[in-house]
Amino acid sequence: MPKNSVTISCKNVWKLYGSNPSKYLASKNFSPSIDELKESQYIPAVFDASIDVIEGEILVIMGLSGSGKSSLVRCMTRLIEPTSGEIYFEGSDLLKATEKELIEIRRHKMGMVFQNFALMPHRNVLDNIAFPLEVQGVNRDQREKRALEIIDLVGLTGREKYYPRELSGGQQQRVGLARSLAVEPNIWFLDEPFSALDPLIRKEMQNEFIRLQNLLNKTIVFITHDFDEAIRLADRIAIMYEGRIVQIGSAEELITSPANDYVAEFTKDIPRAKLLSVGSIMKPTDKMKKSGITINKKDKISSVAPKIISSNSIATVVDDSGEICGELTKDQIIDILFIDKENNA
């Protein structure tokens, strides 16, 4: 596939629970309101969702419990059947795939990791990781060789013969990650994989995940309800509410331009100075020459704030090539810092 192509595309996907939901949706021309659904006693797990997952990106889907994030991912993988809509995987209509074709896609092209690890207690680390390859019919020597490579990749060398009960929570989750990578999937689905871990191990696993992605450059769909985790991991974030995708964008876009009060509430406690880049708040300028302090548009506000405030001058903003692209004032910096102070009061 060409670079930056779409790996998975969802168009107008619905998942309703109730009596004969397909017939009901058709009777409403596939556009019922929330009130109509409630009156007719239908539960919208996914409400008319459209989203593209771009090759090589980490797309984080987030929302409160019951917002539909797990249901949407299960529709993407056809672990549950959508009531209506279109889902394309690598350009092919996933909803037209036969059961046999679907099994092959999941075995060879999709990796999945869930919150509860789902390790087999009677198999050691090596055999747990090699299991997907065993299902594929790969011979023992080849699958153990591949499993040992993945064990080294996730930092479990020396624990090949350990059983799940002998591992810490973080180590068990590393086994889960390793097992999902054994088949070298084209796309990796992770459903709140770190939420059951204590905070220190969770941060360690996030760091491990970032390291693996830097090495492997996978296409990833990652579910979480934690905005701090989303910020650390995501290229883009999709926020869901009552089955709907209410906004998709970078963390900066969600914070600076929330689509509604729900998104604003999600992002209000995030320290803006640490997250926002200079480019997100700079003003346009007609300057042809640099003057005063020069800063890069990719710099974080927190890193440039002290020198701009102390210098009491307007900073010139440049891009990576050194071209002037804007300016930043002391007042703009103070406004951001004041918002952070109010939010943490």
Give me the percent of the chain exceeding a pLDDT of 70.
97
What domains can you pick out in the chain, each with its CATH number? 6-109+185-267 (3.40.50.300), 276-343 (3.10.580.10)
Per-residue tokens: 328? 């930043």
What is the DSSP track for 63-81? -STTSSHHHHHHHHTTSS-
Pair 220, 25: CB distance under 8 Å: no
| Average of per-residue pLDDT values in the chain | 89
Indicate the SS3 state at residue 284: coil
CA distance linking residue 15 with residue 68, whole number of Å: 9
Beta bridge partners of 326: 317
Handedness of CA 203, 204, 208, 209 (dihedral sign): negative
Beta bridge partners of 248: 238
What integer is the mean pLDDT of 83-107?
Answer: 95
pLDDT tens digit string along 259-296? 999 998 888 877 777 778 888 889 988 877 777 789 99
CA distances from 88 to 6, 10, 60 (A): 9, 7, 19
H or E stretch including 174? helix 169-181
pLDDT tens digit string along 296-308? 998 888 888 888 8
pTM above 0.75, yes or no: yes
For residue 289, how far is the Cα from the chain centroid? Answer: 41
Pair 257, 277: CB distance under 8 Å: no
pLDDT of 126 reads: 95
pLDDT of 341 reads: 59
Pair 85, 23: CB distance under 8 Å: no
pLDDT tens digit string along 133-183? 998 889 999 999 999 998 988 889 999 999 999 998 888 888 988 898 888
Q: What are phi and psi of 176, to 5 degrees?
A: -60, -45
Side-chain half-sphere CA neighbours of 315 within 13 A: 27
Contacts 24+ apart (CB under 8 A), 139-144: 143/182
More confident residue, 344 or 192: 192
pLDDT of 40 reads: 94
The helix-helix angle for 301-311 and 330-343 (nearest 10°) equals: 130
Indicate the SS3 state at residue 273: helix
Query: Is residue 130's pLDDT more than 70?
Result: yes
Pair 285, 326: CB distance under 8 Å: yes
pLDDT band (50, 70, 90) for residue 343? low
Indicate the SS3 state at residue 197: coil
Query: Is residue 2's pLDDT more than 60?
Result: no
pLDDT tens digit string along 201-239? 888 888 888 888 888 889 999 999 888 889 889 999 999
Report the chain's C-alpha Rg in angstroms.
Answer: 23
pLDDT of 1 reads: 39
